[in-house]
A = this chain, B = another copy of it.
């Protein structure tokens, strides 16, 4: 079954990027592919870009779309399973078990998209991605990751498409930089970006304060530099993102405003472009001057979310025909 959960579900990244770019030029070229099929989009968390772009991409492909704000529209879901001799007794707030919910939704939907953020309380719990594991196990249909506890592959694919469109060197230097923020945010976008960049032909550098190291399996072969100024030198793309600590899990260790991206910082790059997945807090993470200036690709990135979703959905739908 063709799930789309991470880079590991992608055989040929270049082909996938090209597929997105083809859809961008001809959005309705594959309208027959989704005909008489239904995608269910389940949101455990807030969403703007993902909600709209995935819905749009699905409609471009002729799919019917069913949307649920889980918990709000339906019932709280129990995700944990009984262990031998230790039954999960459902006498708490959750009225429905994922075993039933996933299997039932799988009866109505040909594809299920899910958004479920990290709760940032328990590293092990978040990193085993229980919600996705359970839906994979019990839904019986392909699962599309609309941002999981540890990854955001549709964002990463949109980022790949954007870099492909705007790169002026064969092998651009791409710098993922941590940005300051007073709230604790998941590592998902940063993790995922590293994973996907490691498959593209780029020079990936990751920069962040001490204590903000990402999990090694995501960083891979990227160079880690603790000096932001040094990291930015000669960069073609600066990808900003805040994340909370992975090692001191979910904590905000520092909130150093000197890590905010400004024009002065961008001047160190090689006429570099600025990228961010949005939403972004202006003048906390990035200065107005950068977001409003010609270096910013944030809107182009967001627009490419539609084509990333369409490319992913095409893969899943083509996989159904095999």
Contacts and interface: CB of A to CB of B under 8 A. Distances in A.
A10 interface: no
Given A64-B59, A306-B107, A279 B89 contact: no
A95 B47 CA distance: 12
A282 interface: yes
A51 interface: yes
A39 to B, nearest CB: 11
Contacts of A96: 48, 278-280
Nearest to A278: B100
Interface in A105-130: 105, 107-109
A40 interface: yes
A292 B138 CA distance: 11
Contacts of A87: 282-283, 287-288
Contacts of A91: 182, 281, 284
A202 interface: no
Given A90-B282, A108-B53, A73 B69 contact: yes
B64 A302 contact: no
A302 to B, nearest CB: 4
Interface in A45-59: 46-49, 51-53, 55-56, 59
Q: Is the interface of A mostly helix, strand, loop or mixed?
A: mixed
Interface in A278-298: 278-284, 287-288, 291-292, 298
B47 A73 contact: yes
A254 interface: no
A97 interface: yes
A302 B182 contact: no
A179 to B, nearest CB: 12
Given A100-B278, A288-B82, A298-B100, A51 B38 contact: no
Contact of A279 (B43, B48, B95): B95
7 contacts: A48-B101, A56-B64, A88-B288, A89-B283, A91-B281, A97-B280, A104-B299
Interface of A: 27-28, 36, 38, 40, 43, 46-49, 51-53, 55-56, 59, 64, 66, 68-69, 73-75, 78, 82, 87-91, 95-97, 99-101, 103-105, 107-109, 182, 278-284, 287-288, 291-292, 298-299, 302-303, 306
